[in-house]
Amino acid sequence: MSNFPDLPGMKDLDANPYEPELASFDEMQAGGDDDESVVKTGTTTIGITTDEGVVIATDMRASIGGRFVSNKSIQKVEQIHPTAALTLVGSVGGAQSFIRTLRSEADLYEVRRGEPMSMSGLATLAGNFARGGPYFAISPILGGVDEDGSHVYSIDPAGGVMQDDYTVTGSGQQIAYGTLEDRYEDGLSLEESRELAIEAVHAASERDTASGNGVYVAEVTAEGVDIEGYENFEGAR
């Protein structure tokens, strides 16, 4: 309320609704994006909805400039909500900061209002932050379960939020989509979707130089989020 004097300790009611509550984007701005030295995930991340929940699968490789493998066991899917997970795609630093920010916003929302955020609410918030924030080029997948069922969204660096039954982001996108378009069908079980997602990450890992080194799989159901990593694809199945 700009017509009232700011009283000490008063909540800033004119705070930007597109920014995190606990830090403004100005404070978070961390210098320029040095494309050559920033660690990127390259990445293949996949989200598939089923009636039982959501499956998310990601590869485990981080690289610099898409030419050098800087980490072979990175977990690219993280829980950010009691029943939702987000993938890291793009700049690792940007994606990690994005995850921390969304997680604390979702927690604040839940303790204040006594119920967890809906998936559409979380997706809108994530889109707002991606659009205005200092997160570099990230294009994560948000997958989760709420009262309305299972949801998967892809979020692009400009803040675009698109919901789908299944979606893929990252440099291995086109290869993974080949597998999904061939084998995805309505009514797959969680178990079948899990196998399909792993298969698609496997295909992308074979041909995309920025994807590889194994697979992390997250299963998100109404009960919660279960994430496990596998160094080889055989072990994951």
Residues in touch with another protein (CB under 8 A): 1, 4, 7-11, 13, 17-18, 112-113, 117-118, 120-121, 123-125, 128
Task: State which residue, 57 or 152, has the beta carbon closest to another protein.
Answer: 152
User: Could you tell me if 40 and 91 are in contact, meaning their C-beta atoms sit under 8 angstroms apart?
Assistant: yes
CB of 43 to another protein, least distance (A): 27
Task: State which residue, 98 or 216, has the beta carbon closest to another protein.
Answer: 98
Angle at the Cα of 11 from the Cα atoms of 9 and 15, rounded to 5 degrees: 135
- Among this protein's residues, is 124 annotated catalytic? no
Task: State which residue, 117 or 210, has the beta carbon closest to another protein.
Answer: 117
CB of 103 to another protein, least distance (A): 16
Task: State which residue, 125 or 236, has the beta carbon closest to another protein.
Answer: 125
CB of 222 to another protein, least distance (A): 17
CB of 100 to another protein, least distance (A): 18
What residues are annotated to the active site? 43
